[in-house]
Homo-oligomer: A and B are copies of this chain.
Amino acid sequence: MANKNLEEKKAFQDYYADDYSHCFGCGRLNENGFKLKSYWDGDESVCHFSPKEYYTGGKKDIVYGGLIAALMDCHGAATAAAAKARELGDEIVQGEIPRFVTAYLRVDYLLPTPIGNELELRGRVKEISGRKVFIEADIIAKQKVCAKGDMLFIQIKE
Contact = CB atoms under 8 A, between A and B. Distances in A.
Interface of A: 16, 19-25, 27, 30-33, 52, 54-60, 64-67, 69-71, 73-74, 77, 99, 101-109, 112
B20 A32 contact: no
* Copies assembled: 2
A11 to B, nearest CB: 15
A55 B104 CA distance: 19
Closest 3 CB pairs of A and B: A66-B70, A69-B69, A32-B54
A106 B151 CA distance: 9
Given A24-B64, A65-B73, 13 more contacts: A22-B56, A31-B54, A32-B54, A58-B77, A65-B70, A65-B102, A66-B67, A66-B74, A69-B105, A102-B107, A104-B107, A104-B108, A106-B106
